[in-house]
């Protein structure tokens, strides 16, 4: 797994950096206004923050953990040259992509632009990792 495998590390590292930033995971809260109506406000968190996880938005945190595992597997595959690691990395990457889309199950306002970029980066990583597995 020569240069093809190392090229898969770029979008995966970009996804990890975007997950660290405090703009990906979304929680929507309600606050009563003075006139008695309920106003909503949106708070953004890092994918590694446990606050969205505590409010039943499980996708971001699990995606972040899987991204770390995928990066370790991909680096191990690149350094050792063992292609037997690739199927596990691809399967976990598919799971991470699905989990990154899970906030959409709560509604479109629980998904952010950074979340979409993370999903796109993981998809690009899957594409490049799939190409790395072919001779």
Query: What digits encode the pLDDT tens for the residues 18-68?
Result: 999 999 999 999 888 888 888 888 999 999 999 999 998 999 999 999 999
Residue 22, C-beta contacts closer than 8 angstroms, at least 6 positions apart: 44, 45, 46, 49
Residue 27, C-beta contacts closer than 8 angstroms, at least 6 positions apart: 42, 43, 45, 51, 52, 55, 57, 110
The 8-class DSSP code of residue 25 comes to E
Residues 83-121 have pLDDT tens digits of 888 899 999 999 999 999 999 998 999 999 999 999 999
Overall pTM > 0.85: yes
| The length of the chain, given as a count of residues | 135
Q: What is the pLDDT of residue 112?
A: 94
What's the rounded Cα separation, in Å, for the pair 47 and 131? 28
Q: Using DSSP bridges, classify how beta strands 25-32 and 38-45 pair: parallel, antiparallel or unpaired.
A: antiparallel
User: What range defines the domain where residue 20 resides?
Assistant: 3-132
- Name the token pair of 23: 């703009």
| Residue 23: how many other CB atoms lie within 10 Å | 16
- Number of structural domains in the chain: 1
C-alpha dihedral over 108, 53, 60, 17, to 10 degrees?
A: 130
């Amino acid at each position: 797994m020569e240069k093809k495998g190392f090229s898969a590390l770029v979008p995966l590292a970009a996804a990890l950096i975007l997950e660290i930033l405090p703009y990906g995971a979304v929680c929507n809260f309600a606050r009563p206004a003075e006139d008695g109506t309920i106003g909503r406000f949106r708070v953004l968190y890092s994918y590694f923050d446990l606050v969205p996880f505590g409010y039943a938005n499980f996708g971001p945190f699990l995606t972040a953990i899987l991204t770390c595992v995928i990066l370790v597997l991909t680096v191990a595959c690149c350094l050792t040259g063992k292609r037997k690691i690739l199927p596990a990395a691809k399967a976990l990457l598919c799971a991470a992509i699905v989990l990154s889309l899970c906030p959409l199950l709560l509604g479109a306002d629980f998904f952010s632009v950074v979340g979409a970029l993370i999903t796109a980066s993981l998809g690009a990583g899957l594409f490049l990792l799939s190409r790395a597995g072919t001779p």
